Chains A and B, each alone.
Chain A
Amino acid sequence: MMQIREVASEVKCYHCDDLCRDEPILFDNKNFCCTGCKTIYELFQDDELKDLYEVRNKSNPHLDGKFDFLKSEKIANDLHSFLSDNHNVISLSLPDIHCSACVYILENLNDFNSGVIQTKVNFARRSAQVHYNPQQITLTDLAALLSSIGYPPAFHADTKEKPTKKRNHRLSIQIGVAAFCFGNIMLLSFPEYLGIKEGMSHSFDRFFNYLNLALVLPSVFYAGRGYFISAYKGFTQGFINIDVPIALGMLILFVRSSYEIISATGAGYMDSLAGLIFFLLIGKWFQSRTYENLSFDRDYKSYFPLAVLQIIDNEEVATPIQQLKKGDHILIRNQEIVPADAILLSDEANIDYSFVTGEERTTRVKKGAQIFAGGRQVGAKIQLSITKATSQSYLTSLWNNDTFKQEKTSLSLEDKISKYFTGIILLITIVAAVYWYFYNPTMIWLVTTSVLIVACPCALALSAPFTHGNTLRILGRNKFYLKSADVAERLTEVNTIVFDKTGTITTADNGEANQWIDNISEFDQRILKSMTANSTHPLSQKIHLLLGKVIEVELQNFQELVGKGIEADYQGKRYSLGSALWTLGHQAEEGQAFFTVDGHLISSFQMHNSYRSGLQSMMQGLSSQYDLQLLSGDNAAEEGTLKKMIPELSQMIFGQKPNDKLAHVKSIQQSDSKVLMLGDGLNDAGALSQSDVGIAVAEDVSSFSPACDAIIEGSIFTKLGDFLRYLRGARHIIIASFVISFLYNIVGLSFAVTGHLTPVFAAVLMPLSSITVVVFTTLAGNLWAEKLNL
């Protein structure tokens, strides 16, 4: 049996004590998760920082030319946020930041190069703002310096489109203003609450009331203006949303209270009004929690490079990919991405389309062949001639589809109810008005305004935001991140779930080479390792990885035959690794590789997908409620296995291109189904966008994920069923809290129609109903989560 080195799965970093994500870095017999941690360890051993840098920089020859495109002034100017003779400011995305050691290293960048004036890291966004002196260090050198200490800055085609995304501050300020007004009005209303009238002159009364009136103005017209605007918009579109009754209630409260104060007939309900606005804004804030380190709207531009090398008059010039035209000649180096559809000018290229198709397989193409945008060159550098601009290319044209321009909207539960709610309230108001017209006409004004005030659906408007806000938090804690509360609502309506295969129901490393014929000698292992070292085929690379520390030997006559395999001579014997037909002369299952010497079998390897554990039980759980389907970009090799493993799948379609996936989702939707799509790559982007809810599955949530409505971490993917159950329960919680707020409304209305609504009563009842609803939704949501073990 071949001894395979155990790939370290749970190694803790010596410095930061985090689990190592990738292969740990071994230094001084200790494991480190990143270069940053290793560097900081070294720093603690030796304080000679500059010496250290000298040593480190020499050991990075691979950086040659990688950041040359930053020398182009046009490109560099777009990236900076401030430029001057001796002080430039640039925001750099540094995806490798992941622990506090990284922050330390980067903020002390000045120790490495005195040209850096200051660095400020934003940990959550994995970015850093660097101030530097262009006289002492160029941007290219800065990028190389960052790379050399382990933080290569990421430059993508969308980098300059959102230099520094300023968060919207308005809501925070509105809440501040509303809280200020609410608190002060409450204090000034105390004499009114407690009935302290005696001993106070009339002028105090009036002073307090007018102060209240002055304080409520910013609350209503600044903090609460969003509700008026939204109600007006809804109204002009002939649609009564939840903001219509809210705005109506606020307006009536304001008009009646102002009237009472100015006419000196009463104290008004300014406290209730300010409280209402404050609570509503808090609800809004609670619901609008965003995940700063996640991005839900990435497209191909986040994956494509910022610039490529264009060949103009035999000179290499860095050109932004947006400026590439048909006929331009470009140079693509190893591991670089082809930015636009092109024709190959070099003799041969080896293109990995895994990002486009989802299938991990490199394709060898010959001179003159068409190469599609999104492919990654593996091997020597190649020359290409562009045939289509980037935005018109095959893969990227997916984003020209209308589905990316439409916003997914759905009518929220409270909006559905508000139409009836508003109708009923108006009806009650009219009935009460008619009654009092005959009974005591002087009361009409008092009663009608009281009804509208008390019926203001503040509790109704709070139940959904607080339930959704709580849901977002609980799911976020479980590593399932929703883009907005709206998504939570849409998720309860889906009835069809479509899965992508590779990377979604299989783990991202996409299988392992399983070696099933034993007795492979150390001698053969060494030959095998040397052979696979030279091949770019995914299976070869996996085998190479499996062999670990085996020492390589020198081979003769190595060659790789497309579609067949690799072969080489060693000590006069011919070794081959490849398909059954080619090595042994007979057919075998797909995805197998055979290792032979002079035609005799030594060993065979099976590449198989490793499915996520717990997948079967999850599918079983889901199948009772949802129609389950599978869409894969891969070939049908796994169909049999899948059929046996997940009999619940109603459809399995293989060989799907990005556009096919989009079309398939569309066709399901046409039969009035609501589709939930789960995918992981750019090839699923169309389908994710077209579906009612698109969830991206990511192994590491801060790495690339296509545009979607939610991101789920791969490790908890199989809990999807529980999440959906939780969301359905949350909907019931909202409905229950609607009932509670209606009950309060009935009590309040019975006081209002009989003309007994006093300011104190309103001031108690309205916050009380809001608080009841908030407490109920939060408690119920948490209990429900506990029950489902979330």
Chain B
Amino acid sequence: MSVIFVLILVSMVVAGGFLSLFIWAVKSGQFEDTMTPSMRVLFDDKKKKKQQNQNINEAETSSSPV
């Protein structure tokens, strides 16, 4: 039964870890702006596609024989 001592202490450490994560999240300003990220998430795809295209183009131009 004395394993309970260890288990409880371990669970406390885990819970404490989450608490410190929360504090870090608050301090680093993740809750400052809850509105813009919801809009931003929709834009990412296009950007990536463009970059891919660019990479492909670059790859094509560099590999094309002179």
Contact between B31 and A172, CB atoms less than 8 A apart: yes
Let me know if B36 and A173 touch, CB within 8 A. no
Q: 0/1 per residue, B16-35, Cβ < 8 Å to A?
A: 10010011001100011101
Among listed A120-128, A136-144, A566-574, A654-662, interface-contacting one: A120-128
Which B residue's beta carbon lies closest to that of A201?
Answer: B1
Could you tell me the dominant secondary structure of chain B's interface residues? Answer: helix
Complex CA gap A183/B18 in Å reads: 13
* Docked complex: B32-66 residues within 8 A CB-CB of A: 32-33, 35-36, 39-40, 42-43, 47
Residues of chain B within 8 A of A167, CB atoms compared: 32
A107 pairs with B23, CB closer than 8 A: no
Q: Which of B1, B19, B39 contacts A177 (CB 8 A)?
A: B19
Whether A104 pairs with B43 at a CB distance below 8 angstroms is yes
Report whether A123 and B26 are in contact in the complex, using a CB–CB cutoff of 8 Å.
Answer: no
Instruction: Assess whether A107 is in contact with B40, with CB atoms less than 8 Å apart.
Output: yes
Give, as a whole number of angstroms, the nearest-CB distance from B30 to chain A.
11
B23 and A176 contacting across the interface, CB-CB below 8 Å:
yes
Chain A residues positioned under 8 Å from B36 (CB to CB): 103, 120-124
Q: Is the CB of B39 within 8 A of A123?
A: yes
Pair B40/A169 contact, Cβ less than 8 Å:
no
B12–A184 touching, CB < 8 Å: yes
Chain A residues lying within 8 Å of B8, measured Cβ to Cβ, are: 188, 207, 211
Verify A176–B39 contact, CB threshold 8 A: no
A207 near B39 with CB under 8 A, answer: no
Min CB–CB distance A453 → chain B (angstroms): 27
Measured between alpha carbons, how far is A180 from B31 in the docked complex, in Å?
Answer: 19
Cβ-based interface call for A82 (8 A)? no
**Does B10 have its Cβ within 8 Å of any Cβ on chain A?**
no
> What is the size, in residues, of chain A's interface with B at 8 Å between Cβ atoms?
25
Interchain CB contact under 8 A, A103 and B39: yes
Known: A173-B23, A173-B26. A123 touches B33 (CB 8 A): yes
Taking the closest CB of chain A, its distance from the CB of B19, in whole angstroms, is 5
Inter-chain CA distance A211–B12, complex, in Å, is 10
Q: From residue A226, how far is it (CB to closest CB) to chain B in Å?
A: 17
In the bound complex, do residue B19 and residue A107 qualify as a contact, i.e. CB atoms below 8 Å apart? no
CB nearest neighbor in A for B21? A176
A124 x B33 contact (CB < 8 A): yes
Interface status of A100 (Cβ within 8 A of chain B):
yes
Q: Report whether B26 and A184 are in contact in the complex, using a CB–CB cutoff of 8 Å.
A: no
Specify which of B5, B27, B35, B39 is in contact with A169 (CB 8 Å cutoff).
B27
A204 in contact (CB, < 8 A):
yes
Contacts of A121 in B (CB 8 A): 36, 40
A221 CB → nearest B CB, Å: 16
With the chains together, A120 CA to B36 CA distance in Å? 9
A103 and B39 alpha carbons, distance in the complex (Å)? 8
Most buried by A among B12, B39, B43: B39
Q: Determine if A107 and B43 form an interchain contact, defined as CB atoms under 8 angstroms apart.
A: yes
For the complex, give the distance between the alpha carbons of A183 and B32 in Å. 26
A-B pairs with beta carbons under 8 Å apart, 9 shown: A107-B43, A108-B43, A108-B47, A123-B36, A123-B39, A124-B35, A169-B27, A180-B19, A207-B8
Residues of B within 8 A of A (CB): 1, 4-5, 8, 12, 15-16, 19, 22-23, 26-27, 31-33, 35-36, 39-40, 42-43, 47
Residues of A within 8 A of B (CB): 100, 103-104, 107-108, 120-125, 167, 169, 172-173, 176-177, 180, 183-184, 188, 201, 204, 207, 211
Additional A-B contact list (14), CB under 8 Å, known A104-B39, A122-B35: A100-B42, A103-B39, A107-B40, A108-B47, A123-B36, A125-B33, A172-B26, A173-B22, A173-B23, A176-B23, A176-B26, A184-B15, A201-B1, A207-B5
